[in-house]
Amino acid sequence: MKLFKTCTLGVVLGTMAVTGLVQTAPVQAQGSSMSAATPMPVSGTVLRYYVDRAGFVSAMDVQTADGIKMVRFTPTLAQSLTTMYPVGSTANVFVTMSGNNVYLAGTGPNMPTPSAMYMPMTVTDLDVLKSEPYIMLGSKLMSYTGKLRGYIADPMVGDVVAIVIEQNDKKTLVRVPRENRLLGVGMASARSIPLTKNADVLVFGYPEAPRYGIVSPYADRVVATGITVDGKSLGPLGFGPMKKRKGDTLLGFDLNLGGFLGGNSPEEVQASRMGYSTYTTSVPTPTP
């Protein structure tokens, strides 16, 4: 599968010209010193799966005899894991530790050999969204419309790196072009466009290259070349800084992809503060 990695050449009529070298998709999981650690067995009931800020299912909560463990894994394993261990089933896996984080090392009752161990993620979901995106060779520029449902911002500097739009109950993740991001300027401007929930959004862009084995609540992922919100084109200062306040989640408007409503477990609340939302196949009805 041949892909284009986009790189900006200029802005023409609200869209950016893209070109690139034909190459394969980047590897998201790489080796680390943790790969030398001896995997430990974990067995228990799968309580839920989580979606990260990049829009990929990449973690699960497992109820074990000594408490609930959040097990993280590379997104390309999500399809096989959710099939092998659906919510409510018993998972038998091996994990490694790095600080307080638990990473999947293997599945099944037998310890994986060093060469067969799953490698932990060495990049964050935010790193994925901030990196140069890949599109399929020969992709055509397309338009997308919908209501603004949420955004993902870098909590350190407030740059909005992606927005979420919805039309006909279908959610789309839109990656904001680098030249339309504040990039740490740290101040609002009359030239930046405010983010208002349910605003009308028009996007021009390319479908992002598909990734093997992923599971996501988003029907589409778009590499935007131009974004218009309520009739106003996004300029070089983008949406302005979106500073995280104490107690906020890392997902603007909470996105409502599966939670943060009344009755959520302490584990889900804690996960939301780390940028995760609970993965569900349907959009929940908000609590009055």
The DSSP code for 122 is: -
Strands, sheet with 22-23, edge to edge from the N-terminal-most edge strand: 22-23, 3-5, 134-136
CA separation for the pair 286, 68 (Å, rounded):
26
pLDDT value, residue 189: 55
Q: Is the dihedral of CA 47, 51, 53, 56 positive or negative?
A: positive
pLDDT value, residue 120: 86
Q: Over the chain (288 residues), what is each successive 10-residue block's mean pLDDT?
A: 51 35 35 60 97 96 96 96 96 93 94 91 90 93 96 85 94 93 60 84 97 94 96 86 57 51 76 89 40
**The pair of three-digit structure tokens given for residue 86, joined into one six-digit string:** 């659906």
260 in Cβ contact with 271 (< 8 Å): no
Contact partners, residue 62, CB within 8 Å, separation at least 6? 42, 44, 45, 46, 47, 68, 69, 71, 91, 93
Q: What are 150's strand-pairing partners?
A: 164
Go through the domains of the chain in sequence order and give each one's CATH number.
3-25+131-233 (2.40.50.200), 33-125 (2.40.50.140)
Contact partners, residue 115, CB within 8 Å, separation at least 6? none
CA separation for the pair 284, 77 (Å, rounded):
26
